[in-house]
Structure 1
Amino acid sequence: MSKKLSNSFATGGGGFHFEAHVQASFVTLMLSGGYAPCLPCWPITKVKLQGKIDGFDTDDLIVYVDNAKEQRKLLGQVKHSIAITEASALF
């Protein structure tokens, strides 16, 4: 009987470390007046790190941008790698 070994990146906290770096990048953009990718060039007004609390189906990152009239959101699920295949439940 062979044991299934875990990836050292996953068991050593690499995923959490990577996620924290991505989150910190968006907070840095917000504090420095930068813009979020894939959204209008409006100021980042808020970065939320736990979206499931507010009913979103993502738990890693929600970036809010707004102008005087409207607000947009970027919902992010941070993954170190991902396979886009027909068998993937995500896609």
Structure 2
Amino acid sequence: MAFVVTEPCFDCKYTDCVVVCPCDCFHEGERMLFIDPAHCIDCEACVPECPVEAIFHESNVPEEWKEFVALNEEMASVSPSITERKQPLATPNR
């Protein structure tokens, strides 16, 4: 099991979660972040750091965002790793 980045991260891409990850399992896509499930250790460090509440344990992903479980696995394998804070794409209005 692993944590998953979901729809609220799309066009936001805050990286507060990235800097607290002890296993560097975040990957940067063009418009959102992804978690590599093969490297995630389920520590939950990233969850409280996400200002848009986009990160869920894969067993708790809301039904409407279930496709993000497979998307994280797929995109983490083809996207570069990210370990440092960057400017977000947008300010969350949530």
With structure 2 as the length reference, what TM-score do the two structures score? 0.25
With structure 1 as the length reference, what TM-score do the two structures score? 0.25
* Highest RCO, 1 vs 2 (Cα 8 Å, sep ≥ 6): 2
**Structure holding more strand per residue:** 1
Give the number of the structure whose alpha-carbon radius of gyration is greater. Answer: 1
